[in-house]
Chain A
Amino acid sequence: EVLLVESGGALVQPGGSLRLSCAASGFSFSSYSMNWVRQAPGKGLEWISYISLSSTTRHYADSVQGRFTISRDDARNSLFLQMNSLRDEDTAVYYCVRDHYYALDHWGLGTLVTVSS
């Protein structure tokens, strides 16, 4: 069974940093591209970042470009999101999502990030 478990969500002050992790199991992690998608309270889904196999290619939404960094550790079957210069509008549930041929086919349950003073 494919399992994606996010962790690292917390309450952080504006301007602060946070690192999210995603532990993957039940599939060959190194064979899949991965993504982060978020949902702010009362809002819809927002794709925010993509990383390809072997970390060759990375893409970001304009809203996080230059502040967030996606990375992966295939030896540890883990995906990460380093979030810097956090803003109020970054408050959201963050989902770790597997990418299978351009479709987001497996999602974690998410981890909540709250940015507030």
Chain B
Amino acid sequence: DIQMTQSPSSLSASVGDRVTITCRASHSISTFLSWYQHKSGRAPKLLIFYLSNLASGVPSRFSGSASGTDFTLTISSLQPEDFATYYCQQSHSFPWTFGQGTKVEMK
């Protein structure tokens, strides 16, 4: 199975900050990497698919990139509505797997 190691598990940031979250895959997953935002009590929301493609309606301050098997979600300027938990997920091979999650909290 492909393991997705996500870091950090949590971070504190202020509105306007640049935020970076990283996932490392245990094996090559090509570009089959997605990012999700989850707020408590709500349905998770797809942010980015195929490594760097923005889902419909997602603001351009969100972006995805990769270097080898290291994947990065960047929020260029954190907004109040961005405080949430973020997950990476690989769909290269079954079983699909998620990272452990990163909780973005207000500093």
Contact = CB atoms under 8 A, between A and B. Distances in A.
Interface in A31-53: 35, 37, 44-47, 50
A103 B91 contact: yes
Contacts of B46: 103-106
Interface in A44-66: 44-47, 50, 59-62
Interface of A: 35, 37, 44-47, 50, 59-62, 95, 100-110
Contact of B44 (A50, A100, A107): A107
B36 A108 contact: no
9 contacts: A35-B96, A44-B87, A45-B38, A45-B89, A101-B49, A103-B46, A106-B46, A107-B43, A107-B44
A23 B55 CA distance: 23
Query: Which of A35, A37, A62 has the most C-beta atoms of chain B within 10 angstroms of its own C-beta?
Result: A37
B1 interface: yes
A102 B32 contact: yes
Interface residues of B, number: 25
Q: Is the interface of A mostly helix, strand, loop or mixed?
A: strand
Contact of A109 (B32, B42, B50): B42
Interface string B17-48: 00000000000000010101010001111100
Q: Which of A45, A107, A109 has the most CB of B within 10 A?
A: A45
Contacts of B71: none
Nearest to B49: A103
Contacts of A59: 94-95
Given A37-B44, A95-B43, A105-B46, 14 more contacts: A35-B96, A45-B101, A47-B98, A50-B94, A59-B95, A60-B95, A101-B49, A102-B32, A102-B49, A102-B50, A102-B91, A104-B34, A104-B44, A107-B43
